[in-house]
Chains A and B, each alone.
Chain A
Amino acid sequence: MKKVLCKAFCDNLQVRDVPAGLAVSTAFFAPTGDRIGFYVRNAEDGHYRIEDDGTTLPMLEASGLDFGSGSRAEAMEALLNEYGVKIDTEAREFYVDQVAEDDLARVAMRFVAFSLRVRDFRLMTEANIVSTFRDDVRNMLGERILSAPPHSSEMVGDGV
């Protein structure tokens, strides 16, 4: 069993050279159907920097999410702190820097976990929330209508 599990994780891990350093893809898929991946840059001081492709944050923002203030900003800050990830505001990418070679695999695994979780902010877009709110209201009204006695004027009385 252990062998099968290890094979499932490792066989889908691909590492290739690109001008930036190493491009790594994992066994995990984003909701888009693309594999979750990251890049490893060799910093000048002998440490490494792990970063995304620079489109995760721009595309979340393009979905209508504002991380400038409010509850979404707080949630993003909490997630960044949990995984030790930072935002490069110039490159508009997520990254972890000052990674020692011995620590690279562990930090990379955490970065992948972060990359999966940060995409869940998509569930907090205005369109999704409006849709969820509409479903909740519809369900609530449906339950009240079904549970109300025949010819009840309760709904009108509530001003709904």
Chain B
Amino acid sequence: MPTAGILAKTKKTVAVAGTWKVETGKAGKMNKSAFPLSKRSSVRLGRGWHWRVDTLTGGGETFRLLTAFQPDKEEYRAILGLVGPGELLTIIGELEYHGTHPGWHCHAVCEDVTSIVPGCVHHEARGCVRLPGGDRHHRDMEFDVTESNALGKAFEFFGVTGTPAGSMI
């Protein structure tokens, strides 16, 4: 299936809701098991990042979504991965905002999901595009991210429509 279809057209619901964490000393530390891509690699952000991982289901597949932001630097990243055999994660796309060059944008591979190398971040790989381009006009320039709305931005972009009954997200 093309990644574009998985990104937005495959409607997803929350199977396991995460909770917001922020590293203050040992508490809230993002360790290797928080968002593993394979047995050998994972995404680990450091001090100052607010982050959470939610497990989603949709179209017969399971996804993991990392949502993270750093308010001091006005940085935001939401990374959606498709869970495959052996818990290998195939990164489907990323929604981002950077304080150094404002403007909401995404990175995604415009190929079939089976052509993406699983278990690693690939958005510098061939076939991966940034939309809009780095020197193009961005419609939404405002950061305005807190724990109250950070997850909503990711859900809207990745087509997450439902939440489990009684969830507090």
Seen from chain A, the residues whose Cβ lies within 8 Å of a Cβ on chain B are 14, 16, 18-20, 23-25, 29-35, 37-39, 53-55, 58-59, 61-64, 66, 88-93, 119, 122, 125, 127
Contacts and interface: CB of A to CB of B under 8 A. Distances in A.
A32 B72 contact: no
Interface in B71-91: 71-75, 77
Majority DSSP secondary structure for residues of B touching A:
loop
Nearest to B29: A90
A13 B112 CA distance: 37
Interface of B: 23, 37-38, 40-49, 70-75, 77, 96, 98-102, 107, 117, 119-124, 128-130, 133-134
A32 B107 contact: yes
B18 to A, nearest CB: 18
Given A32-B124, A58-B45, A64 B70 contact: no
A126 to B, nearest CB: 8
28 contacts: A14-B101, A16-B100, A19-B71, A23-B74, A23-B99, A23-B100, A25-B98, A34-B98, A35-B101, A35-B134, A37-B99, A39-B73, A53-B73, A53-B99, A54-B49, A54-B70, A55-B45, A58-B46, A59-B43, A62-B37, A62-B41, A63-B124, A64-B119, A91-B47, A93-B46, A122-B124, A127-B117, A127-B120
A33 B134 contact: yes
B48 A55 contact: no
A95 to B, nearest CB: 11
A19 B48 CA distance: 12
A16 to B, nearest CB: 7
A160 B37 CA distance: 34
Contacts of A91: 46-48
A89 B45 CA distance: 10
A122 B120 CA distance: 11
Contact of A19 (B38, B40, B72, B134): B72
A29 B128 CA distance: 15
Q: Which 3 A-B pairs have the closest CB atoms?
A: A37-B100, A92-B46, A33-B130
A16 B99 contact: yes
A29 B46 contact: no
